[in-house]
Structure 1
Amino acid sequence: MENLEGVLVNGSSPKITVPLLNGICPYFTMFPLDFPQAILKEAKRGDLVLDPFCGRGTTNFAARQYGLESVGVDASPVAVAITESKLVRVDPDEIIAEARHILSGDNDPALPQGEFWNWAYESSTLRDICKIRKALLEDCGSSVRKALRGIMLGALHGPIQKKTVSYFSNQCPRTYAPKPRYAVGYWQERSMLPPAVDVLGVISRRGVRYFNLSLEGMGIARVGDSQNISSLVSPVHDKKFSWIVTSPPYYGMKTYIPDQWLRNWFVGGSDVVQYEHPDQLKHGSPDQFSEGLNTVWKNVANVSDNDAQLVIRFGGISDRKASPIEIIKQSLAGSGWYIDEIRDAGVASLGKRQADHFLKSKSNPVVELDVWAYKR
């Protein structure tokens, strides 16, 4: 069998190359691709992989590189949309043709109104964004449209560049959406008007950059709450998961939806910041948080093989005085999983958040843990 871009063949562990697709839409909270790669290189052909907190789909993309089928579950529709874009196989020309078809159509989209939108996007650029948004909200079932949606999410906001234009917005971070009041003040103080952007040109460049790869499309992603076992259904009848590689939200970290509010708008959410999301772990106290995680680990145990391996990357945030190691131990107690080993994963580089154009202060680094557990 041919080894295509690091795909696992015949149970071997080839050297993995890193297609650029994994970076199609960055979060500021994410683990690196080499984390799940190093774990899944031990997998066998036919093993199923699960990430019950899939985020931007790094575990699922690593599984795809090894030729493994996977399921990613997340409460955020933005996370699931990004993950889906990493699990399709399409030709860049198909993406470009689909975008051109949508933009040349006569659909008349509703445009969001208000000071923020006037300063964030030039009017013709916003209209093109909204035309594509409307079309994808009506139908995003095909691989081509899922790829296009991933491109749009990655280009929706980011820094203004002097040479090649890569983003649609006025000056913004690329990893999280700025809050409207602060952003408008920032742009007004600096007299920064939004640029007119060739939306199709950005899509074309990104399509060639991210989807010029030969990996087969494998895996599924679904919006769901992993505290409900129905969200963790295997894609293969009567077959259970062999590998669970994940990183749940850290205690106190509950701003995923508001931090991604512009992308959430693009996939059908509100055009104003929403600060609450019902389908996420509760952060009222360490005990409450651990209890929610415990429910997830129990559900995961029920859909996993008897010899399955669970690997959790976990840490904390500096403004919560709670021990990450105690939280994760408490969450696993009585869950059906036994801790085999806890490894020091080093210091998270949260102080190096990308494209931090608005905030000058840097986050304190956080020590992270890799917890290895097996069923008992």
Structure 2
Amino acid sequence: MAQNNFPGNDLSFPLNKLPNKSNSYLRLNTICPYFTMFPLDYPFEVLKYAKSNDKVLDPFCGRGTTNFAARLRGLSSVGIDASPIASAIAISKFTNTTPEQIISLCQEILTDSDKPENVPEGPFWTLCYHSSTLNQICKLRESFSEECNTDTSIALRALTLGILHGPLGKTVDSYLSNQMPRTYASKPNYSVKYWEERGLLPKNIDLLEVVKRRAKYSLSSLPPYVDGGILKEDSRNPIKNSSLPLEEFDWVITSPPYYNMNTYIPDQWIRNWFLGGNDKVEYSYSKQVSHSSKKKFSSELAKVWKSVADICNPNANLMIRFGSLPSSPCNPSELLEESLEEANCGWEINNIKSAGTAENGRRQSEQCVKNLGKAIEEIDLHAILR
């Protein structure tokens, strides 16, 4: 494990207190920008009450923040998410590799003399990436489609997902694309129009050079390894997987998607393509919770609470942070209470309290819903499995 001598890195693990946000041990958690903002301090503070042998579960793990908090606490954890993008980012939170290993693997893949078999074409791809950069991206894409099971390849894949698109660098190139947001991918027609109106052409960016900088920044110091992993599954279904210890969980810490926040895959369409998906936007994804009505949404959450209860110990704690979108207002407390009542599997609500109004940039919907309006107060619900 790489643990260089950064200022303030003389930490004793497992951590009892989060270090300053600039501490390099926290950088792995930001390996890829992602629009579901679940602050690290929430699961980390919750887990201060955990025992050393407790196990942690997050059935809507997103980018794996709960799992990373558990790692900092020295606890085994499992995350579940139906999104291939989320699961690919989240599994990187368990990696135990070094920047040198990541750089070496990237160089090995890119120097392979074989040309990539499938390079997308069309106005969007021509204006989004320089042809040389796109070829490098496709080489990595095809390599990962064949094998991505080692810590080093998992870390490189997540790091590449994080640099696929973003703003143009003023001094140093940090992203591979023409001008674009870093947390979500603009749709093709809009992007082409935007670039053409401004005369923006893609730069010839050396993927390896960006990987070198990012790897040295994000993975120079890693917390000690802990057991666990990520399942790319639908948590509404019974949770079964022979490769992970899926039983006797003591803590479930999660933040479900807010009602009517259902554009995770379309808004991450370039990352989805990189992971083997279509090179066009896919607007439907059957494995996500239904948002057709509040009643249906509540019933879908009930299925999750039931499947989770089946693999938890008696007296397990369920911690849920939840809110709503200004564009689709609902009462977060009532919706969660209804879903737990319908689950009818032993979750007994202990308390519901305000989590405050999420500040700008930390709202779960911040990057994927336009014209959000005033933030809605979020709530924290605590239930115990009786």
Q: Same fold (TM over 0.5)?
A: yes
Residue 264 (structure 2) aligns with: 256
Deviation at 1:15, TM superposition (A): 4.7
How far does residue 361 in structure 1 lie from its aligned partner after superposition? 4.9
Q: Does the CA contact (< 8 Å) of 2:184 and 2:368 recur in 1? A: no
Measured in 2, the distance between the counterparts of 1:100 and 1:234 equals 31
The separation in 1 between residues aligned to 2:180 and 2:161, in whole angstroms, is 14
Give 1:216 shift.
2.5
- Correspondence for 1:71 among 72, 78, 83: 78
SS in 2 for 1:131: helix
**CA distance 1:353–1:39, shift in 2 (3 Å):** closer
Could you tell me which residue of structure 2 aligns to residue 130 of structure 1? Answer: 138
Post-superposition offset of 1:322:
2.4
Residue in structure 1 matched with residue 5 of structure 2 by the alignment: none
Q: Is the 8 A contact 2:37 2:363 kept in 1?
A: no
Tell me the residue number matched to 1:156.
164
Query: SS of the residue aligned with 2:166?
Result: coil
Tell me how far apart the structure 2 counterparts of residues 302 and 359 of structure 1 sit (CA, whole Å): 34
TM-superposed deviation, 1:320: 1.3
What is the TM-score when the length of structure 2 is the normalising length? 0.90
Query: Alpha-carbon deviation of 1:340?
Result: 0.7
Distance 1:133 1:114 in 2: 18
Q: Using the alignment, how far apart are the partners of 2:230 and 2:70 within structure 1?
A: 13
Q: Does 1:227 align with 2:236?
A: yes
Q: Are residues 1:7 and 2:13 paired?
A: yes
Asked if structure 2 preserves the Cα contact closer than 8 Å seen for 1:350 and 1:363, the reply is no
Matched with 2:355 is 345
Q: Distance in 2 between matches of 1:226 and 1:306?
A: 20
The CA deviation at 1:260 is 0.6
2:153 corresponds to: 145
Distance apart, 1:352 and its partner CA:
7.0
Contact 2:102–2:155 (8 Å) recurs in 1: yes
Please identify, of 246-255 and 215-224, the stretch whose mean Cα deviation from structure 2 is larger. 215-224
SS at match of 1:230: coil
Q: What's the TM-score, normalizing by structure 1?
A: 0.93
1:328 paired with 2:351, answer no
Structure 1: distance between partners of 2:10 and 2:225: 13
Give the 3 Å change call, closer, same or farther, for CA 291–359 of structure 1 in structure 2: closer
Is residue 289 from structure 1 mapped to residue 328 from structure 2 by the alignment?
Answer: no
**Paired letter, 1:8:** P
- Partner residue, 1:81: 88
Return the letter of the residue paired with 2:236: Q
Secondary structure (helix, strand or coil) at the match of 1:71 reads strand
Per the alignment, residue 115 of structure 2 pairs with: 108
Q: Which ranges of 4 or more aligned residues in structure 1 deviate by more than 6 Å?
A: 351-354, 356-360
Partner of 1:365: 375
Q: Give the drift of 1:363.
A: 4.1
Q: Alpha carbons of 1:71 and 1:234: their partners in 2 closer, same or farther (altered >3 Å)?
A: farther
- 1:113 Cα deviation (Å)? 1.1
Distance 1:358 1:329 in 2: 26
SS of the residue 1:203 aligns to: helix
Tell me how far apart the structure 2 counterparts of residues 234 and 133 of structure 1 sit (CA, whole Å): 25
The residue identity in structure 2 corresponding to 1:372 is: H
User: SS of 2:94's equivalent?
Assistant: coil
Q: Secondary structure of 1:244's partner?
A: strand
Query: Is the CA contact 2:325–2:372 (under 8 Å) kept in the aligned structure 1?
Result: no
Shift of the 373–234 alpha-carbon distance from structure 1 to 2, 3 Å rule, reads farther
1:21, distance to aligned residue in structure 2 (A): 1.0
Is the 2:166–2:176 Cα contact (8 Å) retained in structure 1? yes
Percent of counterpart pairs with the same letter?
Answer: 47
Matching residue of 1:236: 245
Report the CA distance between 1:52 and its aligned residue.
0.2
The Cα of 1:16 is off from its aligned counterpart by 4.2
Q: Structure 1 residue aligned with 2:97, among 90, 94, 97?
A: 90
Match of 1:118 among 112, 126, 145: 126
CA distance in 2, matches of 1:270, 1:231: 28
Question: How many Å separate the matches in 1 of 2:300 and 2:56?
Answer: 22
Shift of 1:269: 0.8
**2:187 and 2:318 mapped to 1: Cα distance?**
37
Aligned length: 369
User: Residues 315 and 335 (structure 1 numbering): CA distance in 2 closer, same or farther, change over 3 Å?
Assistant: farther
Match of 1:29 among 29, 36, 56: 36
Aligned 8 A contact 1:338 1:374 in 2: yes
What CA RMSD, in Å, does the superposition of the two structures yield over aligned residues? 2.3
Answer yes or no: is the 8 Å Cα contact 1:81–1:150 preserved in 2: yes
Q: Give distance in 2, aligned partners of 1:310 and 1:201.
A: 43
Aligned residue for 1:44, secondary structure, equals coil
Give the Cα separation in 2 of the matches to 1:70 and 1:23.
19
